Structures are given as structure tokens and as C-alpha cells.
Copies of this chain bind each other. A is one copy, B any other.
Amino acid sequence: MSLVTSPEFIRRIESIVGSAGLVQDPERMHSYLVDWRNAYTGNAALIVRPANTEQVAAVVRLCHEANVALVPQGGNTGLCGGSIPDATGQQVVLSLTRMTRIREIDPANATITVEAGVILQQLQQAASEAGRLFPLSLGAEGSCTVGGNLATNAGGTAVLRYGNMRELTLGIEVVLPDGRIWNGLRGLRKDNTGYDLKHLFIGSEGTLGIITAAVLKLFPATHSMATAWVALPSPEAAIELISHIRGVCADRLTGFEMMSRQSLEFVLSHVAGCRDPLTSEQPWYALIELRDTISDAPLTELLETCLSHAFEQGLVIDAVIASNDSQAAALWGLREGISEAQNHEGPSLKHDISVPVSQIPAFIERTDKALQARFPGVRIVSYGHIGDGNLHYNISKPVGADDVAFKANELAIMDIIYQKTGEFNGSISAEHGLGQSKPAAAVRFKDPLEIELMRAIKRTLDPTGLMNPGKVFAAEQ
């Protein structure tokens, strides 16, 4: 019997977290060992669910002493397998989902202090009830946790205006790999007393420690909104359009999502109740949202002014402005339906890349061309947060092609896309992190010196390598 499942080890874990904090039953363990898309499956000795920071610290200390590897887990909604343990059954999954306290709301400081297991949507609601906005917004918000958002530096549709999770964070509390607690829960806008350690842990995917709580920024609630769906001749036009709108509207611009006709067609084919908002087919679309704190701000007029200017410049072919909230929601539905719709067309090879905003058109043109040359007929579903330079550049098989034969090209297709990303000094993972699926690619496409520095940091903070092993870093050669 291995150490990890020895009765003594389990007894000691249970003495820390109680029976409510221990999951050993294989059936109950299952949901912690498989990701929501069924893309990654692992095994574990135990699932441990501490109720507070002190319990997390005690569990980590015990595992540190016993040389047991830990896999921190939040809502388990990641896309790269970062919270799924390996297959050995020797790792312990440490789930933060019982740590759901909102510790403090300080409206005058515009901060909220929450524990790692708070669901993003609950955080949004708590902010809203205090008359404030917590802006992070993404598809999984009903089940992802703050801890996961921090560990992966989550993005989403509001990054354009409010930044990534990193930019929304003032302070964090971390259980270090040896079980000590670093209380960095400061709610300060300015603090220049040494290295800013929080930024090491944010986005480190649980490989340097376990984030147990955070002080997050709140923003003024918005009280007016305008939403438009516009048809564009090209990605170039989209870039010029966003530049124009930002110049005029500045931070009233809270959303700008571009998508290809192919993306829209998949949605129209597969998502119930959707319809094309415009009468003619056009190659590209953008969904544009303005918001203001002032309740009667003339946003529709402002949007009309911007769009009529763009129309005169040939940047916009056609446009519709939502006249009420349900119309706006329907337009967002077209954008949000893409990922699901694509699954109906066979395997979807997903890539989450970013390049400088100005390089989006050239990236699309050259990558499309390279892919079509090598794999004629593949359907390219490109869409995303282009104001952040972030494209979800997903590939579906040619019409009528065999699923298995198509999937066999996965690595070759990825290679073309990542090569092009590199040519534009871009990132092969804009939002989703590295997890267990992309460390090898990161090694190929990142500066070796940067990987070396990352490894040096990892060795310094986690010398025994027990924190989420196999994630972020590829096995050393």
C-alpha cells in the first residue's frame, strides 16, 4: 500500500478537514477527476476539501512532509487540464470549493475580499448588491471559482475595458508549498515596498502555491447600454473601427467581439432560435457594446454617430442597433453560441492565440492561407476579443471529411497556427493558460531564456516540485 492511501495518512488528513472534507468514494470522486468537456481524465488518491485557509495550510504541510503531490482545483472548468491530476493515483486533489466566504466588502475602497471557492457569478452578485460592479465575465461564470480565475489569470469579454483577472486583483492570500501562509491581502492601490509577489502566483496555475483568498477591485455600476451588430468587409475594417470607436468613446466601449461569417453560419445552423440580424451575407461581423454609469447617457446616438462615420469610410457595410435588452441579449447569443455550435460539425480544433491588435488582419490572412494550402477545405471558425488581440482560431473539418482522419492532423494544424502566432510576436495561449496540454508547445514557441527563468522561480518557491506537477512546465529533457 502506498503512502498516499495508507490509513495513517488518511487519518491525519481527516483530522484536519473532518469527514466532510474528504472524498474517497470512487463515484463521488469522479467529477473531480474529469474536466467538464471530458477532454482530460486523471486519478487521485484522495479528494480533500478544506473549509478554511488554516485547513489548507495544514493539509499542504502534511503533504509536504509526506512528499505527496497536490493538484489544486476550483470549479474545474479549465480548458487545458490544469486542475486534473495525472493517471498515477498518487496525487491528492485539493478542492477549494468549500471556501465560499465573502470576507469583506468595502465600498469606499471599492474592494471585495473573497475566498478562493466563491463562484464568479456569486461574486458578481455580491458586488451588484453593494451597488458596484465586478467586471470579469466569461462563459463558465456560473461554475468557475475565484481561485481558478486567479490561478489562470482569467480573461473573457470584459478585458477590453477592465483588464484580466490580474488587473482586477489588489492582494492575495497564498498557502506556500511548505504550508506557510503568506498574507498578502492588502487592499492598496499603491504599494512600492519591494517585489510585487502577487503577480508571480496569479496565472501560475497552482504550481507555486495555493491562492486561498483575494482582495479584488470593484467598479462603478453601469446604468445605460447600447449594443450593435455590424457587418464588416474585412478584419482590417474591424481594427480601424475599434480604433475609431475607442478614440471617441474611450472606456464607454465595453465590448467588441469580431466573428467570421463561418462562425455565424455554424450558430445559425445549430443553435435554436437564432436568426441572422442582417438581410445579406457578409464576410465579417462585430458585436459592439457601449456602457455608461450615467443612466440617461445618449449611447445609442453616440454609437450611431460612430457607425455612420464608419459607413462613410467604408468600414461598415450594414448595422443594426438593439432597441431593447432582449434584442441585445439575442445579439450576444450569436457570439456566445459559436463554441457549442462548432461541436455539431465534427471535431473542433481550438486555439486561443493573441497577437498585437494591429496584426490581427495579417495574422488571419496568412494563417488562413497556410492552412488552406496544406489542408484544403478546412473550415476556419475565427472569432474573439480582437480589442485584446485575442482570437479563438478554431478549425473544423472540410465538409464530408472523416472525423478520425481530420483529427490526425491536429498537431500539424496546431503547428501552422502557432508558427504564425510566433511570426507576429504573439502568444499561443492568450486566456486559457498552459495546463497539461500546452507546456510542450510553450517550450517550442517561447524564448528558452524565459522558460529558464520560470523554472528557476519554480525551483525557488517549490523546491520539492509537489505543487501541481506536470502543469505549466514540460518534463525536463
Contact = CB atoms under 8 A, between A and B. Distances in A.
Nearest to A428: B193
Contact of A427 (B190, B425, B433): B190
A196 interface: yes
Interface string A181-207: 011111111111111110110111000
Contacts of A191: 354, 427, 429-430
B111 A356 contact: yes
A426 interface: yes
Contacts of A107: 243, 358
A211 to B, nearest CB: 14
A434 B356 contact: no
Contacts of A442: 193-194
A184 B153 CA distance: 18
A461 interface: yes
A95 B456 CA distance: 28
Interface in A196-241: 196-197, 199-200, 202-204, 208, 219-222, 239-240
A34 interface: no
A438 B193 CA distance: 8
A33 interface: no
A454 interface: yes
A200 B203 contact: no
A136 B166 CA distance: 20
Interface in A430-446: 430-434, 438, 442, 446
A12 B432 CA distance: 47
B190 A249 contact: no
A320 to B, nearest CB: 24
Interface in A166-186: 166-167, 176, 180, 182-186
Interface string A146-167: 0000001101000100011011
A197 B450 contact: yes
Q: How many identical chains are in the complex?
A: 2
A208 B453 CA distance: 12
Contacts of A115: none
A453 B220 contact: no
A193 B446 contact: yes
Interface residues of A, number: 92
B429 A186 contact: no
A197 B106 contact: no
Contacts of A183: 447
Interface string A315-359: 000000000000000000000000000000000000000111111
Contacts of A390: 189-190
A60 B202 CA distance: 31
A458 to B, nearest CB: 8
Contacts of A356: 106, 109, 111, 187-188
A176 B431 CA distance: 28
* Residue of A182, A453, A459 with highest tally of chain B CB at under 10 A: A453
Contact of A188 (B108, B239, B427): B427
B109 A159 contact: no
11 contacts: A108-B357, A153-B192, A163-B167, A182-B447, A187-B425, A191-B430, A193-B434, A194-B450, A197-B450, A220-B247, A249-B293
Given A109-B389, A356-B188, A472-B194, A247 B431 contact: no
Interface string A48-76: 00000000000000000000000000000
A195 B460 CA distance: 13
B180 A427 contact: no
Contacts of A426: 186, 188
A109 B182 contact: no
Given A109-B358, A220-B246, A447-B183, A430 B203 contact: no
